[in-house]
Amino acid sequence: MILCANPAAQFQSHQDEIEEAVLQVLRSNRYILGAEVDALESEFADYIGTKTAIGVANGTDALELAIRALDIGPGDEVITVSHTAVATVAAIEAAGAIPVLIDVDPVYYTLNPAQLQEALTPKTKALIAVHLYGQAADLDAIEQFCTKNKLFLIEDVSQAHGAKWKGKRLGSIGHIGCFSCYPTKNLGAIGDAGLVTTNDSKLGNKVRMLREYGWKRRYISDIAGRNSRLDELQAAILRVKLRHLDYDNSKRQQLAEQYSRALAGPKLHLPVTRPNSEQVFHLYVIRTGDRQQLIDHLSSHKIQAGIHYPMPVHLQPGYKARIRTSSNMRVTEQLAEEVLSLPMYPELSSADVASVIEVINSFTSNTAQV
């Protein structure tokens, strides 16, 4: 079976280093917010190119705490996209703010800047740019809009660890960057974990307080916070994987190039990399109007594919009555019917990718003749 994602293979490729790091934590008698978290925060900030990084419990918390640190809450609006993981929108609501969802562009599948003006109201306080599938949103247009309208720019980098925009790492460009380290991510823990990055020291300190009950001094809550602490085990694992992130991303890029060179078919749309950016292919996402038939064909050859995402947030039963959307969500709704994620992870072999290509090309060749 060729899996769509395989975090166990990531563990196996760095097994000795991970096991040694975990053993050191187990022997240390310090298991939450200790030396490993401190070291990870320093190393990750250096890697991304920000003044500070803050470890939190997961990526959703990273977004929520970032929003709260910006003093955004009840009655305020935050603009983002509907074609994203539900976590992006859940975090806005968890902070008490109102999600305002707009469409994505039809080429790169990231936020469509042309719809921003329509979404803007006097209540708008921030914009979350989701760097989807491993590549940057249109940060030039987004930054210009935020500057003009005095909005905070939050980067959701949960699918793009290590990716770049004009030579700068994503997560270093907006006011604050938010990362999920879920096990399948480019930088994945063995469990839940998240990180926040910023060049604003005051903002970083506020996130640090919010993650632990609003404490500056232990047991004294200067502001209302909550519990979103990163444990030492996950921090130690992430420190190991961070050392290998650029190499692992280069493997993803090589596999993506192999897919793009060889996949063919008139009904097949392959991913396009935005100019001035470096994509890290968290997912390799194609589009086809024959998606279910292709899924069945791949499955019959023991190849697993995924769908990211099968239902836009604005159509989800739990959200559609509570959020505001732009008047035109055509691209988002079409993508939900057509996107398909092919197997993609650094340990995937070139031979397995060749097998996936062969199976897909046989399918597209047959459907083209019908």
Q: Which residue has the tokens 């980067």?
A: 155
Separation of alpha carbons 160 and 51, rounded Å: 19
Helices (H) and strands (E) in the chain, counts: 13, 15
The residues, any chain, with a CB within 8 Å of residue 24's CB and separated by 6 or more, are 236
Query: Cα 43 to chain center, whole Å?
Result: 20
Cβ burial, residue 244 (10 Å; 0-12/13-18/19+): middle
Q: What is the CA radius of gyration of the chain?
A: 21
Inter-CA distances, 11 with 19, 162, 184, 238, Å: 9, 19, 11, 11
| Partners of residue 130 on adjacent β-strands | 156
> Domains, the chain, ranges and CATH?
7-103+112-243 (3.40.640.10), 245-369 (3.90.1150.10)
The confidence score (pLDDT) of residue 111 equals 98
How many Cβ atoms sit within 10 Å of the Cβ of residue 258?
17
Query: Cα 72 to chain center, whole Å?
Result: 22
The confidence score (pLDDT) of residue 44 equals 99
Residues of the chain with pLDDT under 70: 368-370
The answer to whether the Cα torsion of 203, 205, 211, 216 is positive or negative is negative
The confidence score (pLDDT) of residue 265 equals 86
Task: Identify the CA nearest to 355 among candidates 265, 273, 214, 255.
Answer: 255
| Partners of residue 128 on adjacent β-strands | 154
The answer to whether the Cα torsion of 330, 336, 338, 341 is positive or negative is positive
The confidence score (pLDDT) of residue 184 equals 98
